[in-house]
């Protein structure tokens, strides 16, 4: 059985999306001294790291990285973060993931951060699919796609080999 794959975003396009999203985050936080970039473990965290680098290049805002560990097979289990609640309390926070699929991972990530008062809460994704199971939206998105439920988005963010594929 052959799997049909199509490149949705190549390396250069992903770099442009990262830069544009970083500018959008900057614009919505222009009066802030720092912003917490909470990347969902694996690709979401790598995406947050790339956004942090770009934010440092374009602004005086201090981006603070936070790794969010969610069991994607059991999202109701305990969610862990690499920084303490005190580190993001009353701050501007952006929850970051590579793909917004059904919204399950993002909604449980949002739920976790709602336990602490935040100054502002936004979400950022590289690829936004239109098959949401939960009422969650991406405030900042690289690209939106209408795909079938049988298709899969595979994002690679390694070194100089960024790529988003539709399978």
User: Domain ranges in the chain?
Assistant: 6-166
- pLDDT at residue 1 in the model: 44
- pLDDT at residue 139 in the model: 95
DSSP string, 19-36: HHHHHHHHHHTTT-SEEE
pLDDT per residue rounded down to tens, the chain (167 residues): 444 569 889 999 999 999 999 999 999 999 999 999 999 998 999 999 999 999 999 999 999 999 999 988 887 888 999 999 999 999 999 999 999 888 888 988 999 999 899 999 999 999 998 777 778 889 999 998 877 767 778 888 887 788 888 88
pTM of the model: 0.90
Provide CATH code, domain 6-166: 3.40.50.2020
Neighbours of 120 (CB within 10 A): 13
- pLDDT at residue 5 in the model: 67
The three-state DSSP-derived secondary structure of 32-54 is: CCEEEEEEECCHHHHHHHHHHHH
- pLDDT at residue 21 in the model: 98
Cβ contacts of 151 within 8 Å, gap of 6 or more? 166, 167
């Amino acid at each position: 059985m052959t799997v049909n794959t199509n490149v949705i975003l190549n390396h250069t396009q992903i770099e442009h999306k990262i830069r544009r999203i970083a500018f959008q985050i900057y614009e919505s936080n222009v009066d802030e001294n720092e912003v917490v970039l909470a990347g969902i473990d694996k690709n979401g965290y790598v995406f947050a790291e790339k956004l942090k680098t770009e934010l440092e290049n374009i602004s005086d805002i201090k981006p603070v990285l936070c790794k969010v560990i969610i069991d994607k097979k059991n999202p109701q289990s305990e969610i862990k973060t690499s920084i303490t609640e005190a580190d993001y309390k009353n701050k501007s926070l952006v929850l970051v993931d590579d793909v917004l699929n059904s919204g399950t991972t993002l909604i449980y990530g949002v739920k976790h951060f709602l336990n602490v008062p935040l100054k502002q809460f936004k979400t950022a994704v590289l690829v936004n699919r239109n098959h949401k199971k939960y009422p969650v939206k991406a405030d900042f998105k690289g690209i939106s796609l209408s795909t079938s439920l049988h298709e899969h988005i595979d994002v690679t963010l390694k070194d100089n080999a960024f790529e988003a594929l539709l399978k």
